[in-house]
Structure 1
């Protein structure tokens, strides 16, 4: 065999290791249009690994825009039942620097760093006999991931799928949803638009989802496990509507693309400058930097103040992008962005960890 021959294109799953976000990058293998200003980007690993995640989870992409890369979090629209590639479906909002860069730049062959997957917005965390998926706009992406998984693995599942858009041509995945509706015996589809379009006729439901239209689209919604995703005002309206209808809100789950405002990084001062502040020593071993963490400051804030780069996106303990190895005690208040076995292996989320003593960070 030629020592310089390319590795075989196909390998069995049991011959491959899972993708490691710290060692491998993503290679774009396809870009497709889904709706106006909406594209799907499909990726494979650059090192023949497979993707292990739960339908509905997200990844964080590192986009080389400007002097400092942008960290942008996108829900996976693909299904883990097809583990050789992953896909994100994104909508370019006005002023969306990162997404617009992807539209203009990412092509088959483009390599990107990525972190994840993470998130607990998935039906696997909330098994039920019947589901109701409610989405608006690009909020359909985690629902599509879950529905694709159900189609591959449990096509008989009882699912009511309601998706809302401004106009008919803006219904993301409409053709695929209609195809799945003809193949999945337990799937009922409900499309709801706000206004007619000159591009195509429409004979379906119109208006915004409310207490009158929801029972028409899903008469037994009170008996279902509800997953909702879309713009925050949309999700607020759905929450209020269900609550007023007497729905058991413990069975309501939502995902939002918006992160809370990032807190400012306080300036670092030495103990001599501020004798009241209690400074804790932090060593960033890979960077060869010793720093002092003021009382109340996170590992991420200290790293930035010391000129050490730790990748971070959400900065409230959810996305898992800032996961680093730590030797020493910390107080970590996260929101699900790290697993128990990762914590046991010595990893922390830098954005929400505050040292309780001298620590060494692998960064």
Structure 2
């Protein structure tokens, strides 16, 4: 079992290094260092600051990309999927969407060594402002990215929080970070991970179908004692809102970020629709 008191954070770095951190709302260029294929249509882009600065943000926040595509300036928001406990890298995880201008451009054109301009960090949907000792991270599709940042931050710190993580995907092959999530659940006794698939796939024997109140309570029977952090496409969010309202979860125990919609604690990232 990990020592619950063994922890570290960006505040452990020397003051001279802290002065070189990413400042809120500041624009800067970042360099793509690596690309990871998470699924057949999801890629993680790993950046470092071209200036050499470290990245300082709260788990759950997002950044704004400023791109030029076919001669036109375009901006899109993407949640950071990496944790603030790893300040030398900044990662976004992007699903290729049919007809999505920016997601397709990133998949087809961005390569290691290329620089792009970003702005941030942005967003009130973050674990520093909305802490809990018993978090439930609940995500659908591309909504996994901000809650993955939260989970990674907590496990990097060996925090001892009582964590449940539930992710809904189309099929088992569409579960981003599956191997990492299963490894975290195996390593940390305080981390429980569940997946739900909405479509049948080969060798999948876990929960099936769209999430509803009874399924949510089966996977998180102590839901009333938890604070929920929820993110996903708007249809998913509508379903979850209806579930928690029916179950009777207090508004103070529910926080959300909705990709592509107006509901949430901040201007929403658009990685599920761009």
Common topology (TM > 0.5) = yes
Give the aligned partner of residue 176 of structure 1. 180
Distance 1:14 1:171 in 2: 39
Distance 2:212 2:184 in 1: 26
Does structure 1 retain, via aligned residues, the 8 Å contact 2:33–2:46? yes
Displacement, 1:259?
5.0
Against the structure 1 CA distance between its residues 244 and 193, is the aligned structure 2 distance closer, same or farther, given a 3 Å change threshold? Answer: same
Does residue 110 (structure 1) correspond to residue 99 (structure 2)? The answer is no
TM-score, normalized by length of structure 1? 0.66
Displacement, 1:206?
0.8
Give the aligned partner of residue 231 of structure 1. 233
Does structure 1 retain, via aligned residues, the 8 Å contact 2:165–2:191? yes
Does structure 2 retain, via aligned residues, the 8 Å contact 1:155–1:185? no
Matching residue within 84, 87, 90 for 2:94 = 90
Give the aligned partner of residue 132 of structure 1. 136
Partner of 1:64, secondary structure, is strand
Distance 1:24 1:231 in 2: 29
Distance 1:202 1:52 in 2: 39
Distance 1:207 1:252 in 2: 23
Does structure 2 retain, via aligned residues, the 8 Å contact 1:52–1:80? yes
Runs of 4+ in 1 over 2 A off after TM superposition: 12-16, 19-24
Distance 2:38 2:55 in 1: 23
Task: Deviation per CA, 1:145-198: give whole Å up to 9, x if none.
Answer: 00000001144211111100110000111000000101121111111001222x
Against the structure 1 CA distance between its residues 13 and 43, is the aligned structure 2 distance closer, same or farther, given a 3 Å change threshold? Answer: farther
Against the structure 1 CA distance between its residues 22 and 184, is the aligned structure 2 distance closer, same or farther, given a 3 Å change threshold? Answer: same
Does structure 2 retain, via aligned residues, the 8 Å contact 1:155–1:186? no
Query: CA RMSD for the aligned pairs?
Result: 1.6
Give the aligned partner of residue 53 of structure 1. 57
Give the aligned partner of residue 307 of structure 1. none
Displacement, 1:143?
0.7
Distance 2:231 2:73 in 1: 27
Against the structure 1 CA distance between its residues 189 and 22, is the aligned structure 2 distance closer, same or farther, given a 3 Å change threshold? Answer: closer
Give the aligned partner of residue 215 of structure 1. 217
Task: Deviation per CA, 1:288-345: give whole Å up to 9, x if none.
Answer: xxxxxxxxxxxxxxxxxxxxxxxxxxxxx848xxxxxxxxxxxxxxxxxxxxxxxxxx
Displacement, 1:13?
5.7
- What pairs with 1:1-363 in structure 2 (closer than 5 Å)? 14-16=15-17, 17-20=20-23, 22=26, 24-197=28-201, 200-258=202-260, 318=267
Against the structure 1 CA distance between its residues 250 and 194, is the aligned structure 2 distance closer, same or farther, given a 3 Å change threshold? Answer: same
Against the structure 1 CA distance between its residues 95 and 182, is the aligned structure 2 distance closer, same or farther, given a 3 Å change threshold? Answer: same
Displacement, 1:250?
2.1
Displacement, 1:218?
0.6
Give the aligned partner of residue 310 of structure 1. none
Task: Deviation per CA, 1:222-271: give whole Å up to 9, x if none.
Answer: 110001101111111111111111111221111022155xxxxxxxxxxx
Displacement, 1:15?
4.1
Higher-Rg member (1/2):
1
Against the structure 1 CA distance between its residues 191 and 119, is the aligned structure 2 distance closer, same or farther, given a 3 Å change threshold? Answer: same
In the alignment, structure 2 segments of 5+ residues that lack a partner are 1-12, 269-274
Distance 1:247 1:69 in 2: 43
Does structure 2 retain, via aligned residues, the 8 Å contact 1:192–1:205? yes
Q: Which has the higher contact order (CA 8 A, sep 6+)?
A: 2
Against the structure 1 CA distance between its residues 48 and 133, is the aligned structure 2 distance closer, same or farther, given a 3 Å change threshold? Answer: same
